Amino acid sequence: MLEKYLDLVDDVENRLQLAKEFHMTKYAADILIKLRDRKRLSELRSSIRNKSEMDSVQRYIDNALIATTIRWRN
């Protein structure tokens, strides 16, 4: 439900910061994938500490990082 309101934030960097503050890791990963920012996506992956999120979100990020359809900027 919070994603709906975060989508209303115009500034992408501000939206990303809010997603991190609210511990919405998958939503933050989606933002970084849309920005095609491989470096920050890898940093986000390594910062995951919550055990319940770890497996699914890390797998999601790993799949995005190896996807050949995404042209990364860095």
Per-residue pLDDT of the chain (74 residues; tens, 9 = 90+): 889 999 999 999 999 999 999 999 999 999 999 999 999 999 999 998 877 777 899 999 999 999 999 999 98
CA distance 23 to 14: 14
Domain boundaries, the chain: 2-66
* The model's pTM: 0.89
Name the DSSP class of 11.
-
Q: Identify the CA nearest to 19 among candidates 40, 8, 3.
A: 3
